[in-house]
C-alpha cells in the first residue's frame, strides 16, 4: 500500500516519523511524506495553509491508498472550515486531536480509522516487532481484513446493557475533550441516527472529564445514543475523588437509560486497537462487532 503522511495538528517528532517510515517500507509498503510534515509554526505543524495544502494533496493523489496522520496534539479543528468533498476520497488514520477530522469524515460518509498516529507505530507497544501490533492491525483493516467483521471485547457497566439491541448502528467517537471543543461550533458531533459512542481521554482530572461529559450529553440528541463505551482514560488523576470513572459516568447515563460499557483496548495508553468510525456496528454477547 501507499501511505501518505501528513501533519494536521501539532509539530512532530522527526526521528520517530523517519523510523516508522523505514520500518513500514521494509515491509514492502510505500511511504511518502507531505511537503510540510516537519514544519513548525508555534506548537503546530505549520500554518493552516500549509497543513490544509498537504491534507488536500494527499486526499486527491490517485497513487495514495490511505492518509496517515503524523501525530495529534492540537490544531486539527482549525482545518474544518477548509474541508470539502476531497476529504472523503481516502481512508484517514489517526486519533486524539484527529478526532475532529475522523468524525467529520464519518458523518459525511467517508472512511475514518481510529488508530495510532504515525509517529507512535515504531516506538510504542512493539513486543519484539519492528511495528506495534496495533499498527499491523491498522494495515490489515485497510487491506485483507477490510470486509471482515472485527470483534472487540467489552465489560458491562450498568443494568441497561441487558436490554441492548442487536441492530447495527453507527459508530462514532474519540477523544472526549476534543469532541466537546466542537460543540457550539458549525462542526459539532451530531447523532442524526442511532449511534454507539466510544470515548477516551488523557491527562484530564476527573472533574474536567465529568464537565466535558455533561457538556457532550447536553449538546447531542441522547435519544439517538444507544450505548456509550469508555476506553482508556490514561493518566487522568483521580485525586481525592472516591468514585471510579465508571461510577461517575453511570450517574449521568442511568436517568437516560443508556447502556454503559468499558474496555482497555483503545486510547492513549499502551493499547490502541484500530476501529472504524462511521461504519455500522452492534453489541452482542459483550462484544462490539464492526
Report the catalytic residues.
Answer: 96, 200, 268
User: What gap in Å lies between CA 258 and CA 163, rounded to an integer?
Assistant: 10
Number of other residues whose CB lies within 10 A of the CB of residue 224: 15
Beta bridge partners, 151, equal 289
Residue with cell 467517508: 110
* Burial call 126-153: b when 16+ CB within 10 Å, e when fewer: eeeebbbebbebbbebbeeeeeeebebe
- Please check whether residue 114 is in contact with residue 266, taking contact to mean a CB–CB distance below 8 angstroms: yes
Furthest-apart CA pair in the chain: how many Å? 54
All three cell numbers of 14, joined, read 522527526
User: What gap in Å lies between CA 157 and CA 274, rounded to an integer?
Assistant: 22
- Chain centroid to Cα 279, Å, comes to 13
All three cell numbers of 110, joined, read 467517508
Amino acid at each position: 500500500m501507499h501511505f501518505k503522511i501528513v501533519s494536521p495538528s501539532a509539530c512532530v517528532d522527526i526521528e520517530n516519523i523517519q523510523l516508522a517510515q523505514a520500518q513500514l517500507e521494509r515491509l514492502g509498503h510505500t511511504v511518502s511524506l507531505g511537503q510540510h510534515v516537519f514544519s513548525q509554526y508555534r506548537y503546530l505543524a505549520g500554518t493552516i495553509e500549509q497543513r490544509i495544502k498537504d491534507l488536500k494533496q494527499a486526499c486527491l493523489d490517485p497513487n495514495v491508498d490511505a492518509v496517515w496522520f503524523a501525530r495529534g496534539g492540537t490544531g486539527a479543528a482549525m482545518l474544518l472550515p477548509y474541508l470539502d468533498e476531497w476529504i472523503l476520497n481516502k481512508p484517514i488514520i489517526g486519533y486524539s486531536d484527529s478526532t475532529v477530522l475522523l468524525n467529520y469524515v464519518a458523518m459525511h460518509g467517508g472512511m475514518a480509522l481510529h488508530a495510532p498516529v504515525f509517529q507512535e507505530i515504531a516506538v510504542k507497544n512493539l513486543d519484539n516487532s519492528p511495528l506495534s501490533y496495533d499498527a499491523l492491525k491498522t494495515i490489515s483493516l485497510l487491506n485483507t481484513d477490510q470486509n471482515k467483521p472485527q470483534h472487540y471485547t467489552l465489560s458491562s457497566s450498568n443494568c441497561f446493557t441487558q436490554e441492548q439491541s442487536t441492530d447495527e448502528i453507527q459508530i462514532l467517537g474519540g477523544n472526549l475533550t476534543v469532541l466537546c471543543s466542537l460543540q457550539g461550533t458549525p462542526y459539532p458531533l451530531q447523532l442524526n441516527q442511532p449511534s454507539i459512542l466510544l470515548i477516551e481521554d488523557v491527562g484530564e482530572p476527573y472533574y474536567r472529564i465529568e464537565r466535558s461529559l455533561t457538556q457532550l450529553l447536553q449538546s447531542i440528541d441522547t435519544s439517538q445514543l444507544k450505548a456509550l463505551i469508555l476506553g482508556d482514560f490514561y493518566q487522568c488523576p483521580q485525586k481525592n475523588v472516591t468514585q471510579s470513572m465508571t461510577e461517575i459516568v453511570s450517574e449521568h447515563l442511568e436517568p437516560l437509560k443508556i447502556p454503559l460499557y468499558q474496555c482497555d483496548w483503545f486510547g492513549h495508553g499502551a493499547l490502541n486497537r484500530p476501529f472504524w468510525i462511521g461504519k455500522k456496528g452492534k453489541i452482542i454477547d459483550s462484544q462490539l462487532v464492526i
